[in-house]
Amino acid sequence: MARLIDGKAAALALRTEVARAVEGFVAERGLRPGLAVVIVGDHPASRAYVRTKTRMAEAAGIAARLIELPADIQTAALLERIGELDADPAVHGILVQLPLPETIDEAQVLLAVSPKKDVDGFHPANVGALFSATRPDPDRLLVPCTPLGCLHLLRQTLGAEGLRGQEAVIVGRSNIVGKPLAALLLAADCTVTVAHSRTRDLADVCRRADILVAAVGRPGLVRGSWVKPGAAVIDVGINRIEAEDGGSRLVGDVAFAEAEQVAGAITPVPGGVGPMTVACLMRNTLTAARLQSGAGG
């Protein structure tokens, strides 16, 4: 039976560490790290995520602001609002919650947040820096939060040197998860395969993996029989499905009950990668404040 990778506990430890470092930063620099979270429209899951993000930021001693904008806002007006936040010295990190309504030009929005305030790590300058660094340093570079959280959990599970030479298979090639995680695992000396919706023989590809990451958005896609015995399985998926009692519940992209029989270690959903994403956002906000105040890592 697989060891459970406790993302909640790991996230709490990281948030506690960040909170302590935030107080150190405030004492030393006389200024408090600030985070602005921008949400457009009223997508229920997104609303829940931004509430958690601002609440956790406050708990870590970060001054958090939630900016709620209507779904019918024009791209130009949104860019103007982001420009104001970008110019505000009290705001060190800006996060624009995705997905944006289809009427908004997302690429322009991602460009409007300057790289040093881009706590999601989605600006092309940060993406380029991540992919071109031999050893990307998350104390000096803003790296996307979910992949950073996955890396943290893998290091904790396998040990600092435990990733070297491992076969890693990531299912999903999104800009938010799959692609940046591939860059991080490559830099951690894994041999990385990125699989996707057009991959042939996906089950066979997954069976090669010492480290198997699912970031797809399809409940239970990855079956127990796809998992190599002893593999570390990271389930990024968050899917709401109908529950037996007529309500709903969250499940991942991995068929958990099957996979836990085979894997060496596995993240649950909920309580795995999700909490780490938020903790890494706190870490990135502190990193952004340090970079902007010239305090370095």
117, 8, 172, 170: CA torsion to nearest 10? 110
- Annotation marks residue 8 as catalytic: no
As measured in angstroms, the least distance from the Cβ of 288 to ligand NAD is 19
Q: Closest residue to ligand NAD, Cβ-based?
A: 174
User: For ligand NAD, which is the closer residue by CB, 238 or 266?
Assistant: 238
44, 33 Cβ separation under 8 angstroms:
no
How many angstroms separate the Cα of 192 from the Cα of each of 93, 145, 176? 31, 19, 17
Rounded CA separation 113/96 (Å): 9
**38, 53 Cβ separation under 8 angstroms:** no
The residue annotated as part of the active site, out of 118, 120, 235, 253, is 120
Tell me whether residue 177 or residue 231 sits nearer to ligand NAD (CB atom): 177
- Asked if 230 and 212 count as a contact pair (C-beta separation under 8 A), the reply is no
Which residue has 């480290």 as its token pair? 211
Length of the chain: 297
Residues near ligand NAD (CB under 6 A) are: 146, 171-174, 176-178, 196-197, 202, 215-218, 221, 236-239, 273-274, 277
Structure tokens at 35: 């985070």
Q: Which two tokens stand for residue 93?
A: 């990190």
State the distance between the two ends of the chain, measured CA to CA, in whole angstroms: 40
Contact 222, 252 (CB under 8 A): no
**Residue 197 or 261 having the CB closest to ligand NAD:** 197
User: Looking at this protein, which amino acid is placed at residue 278?
Assistant: V
Specify the residue, 114 or 239, whose C-beta has the smaller distance to ligand NAD.
239
H-helix or E-strand containing 75? helix 75-87
Angstrom distance (rounded) from CA 276 to CA 10 = 7
Smallest separation, CB 87 to ligand NAD (Å): 29
* Preceding omega of 99 cis (within 30 degrees of 0): yes
- For residues 117 and 93, the answer to whether their CB atoms sit within 8 Å is yes
Q: Which is nearer to ligand NAD, 277 or 284 (CB)?
A: 277
Please identify which of the residues 97, 116, 179, 235 carries the catalytic annotation: 97
Q: Which is closer to ligand NAD, CB of 97 or CB of 277?
A: 277
Any idea which residues carry the catalytic annotation?
53, 97, 120
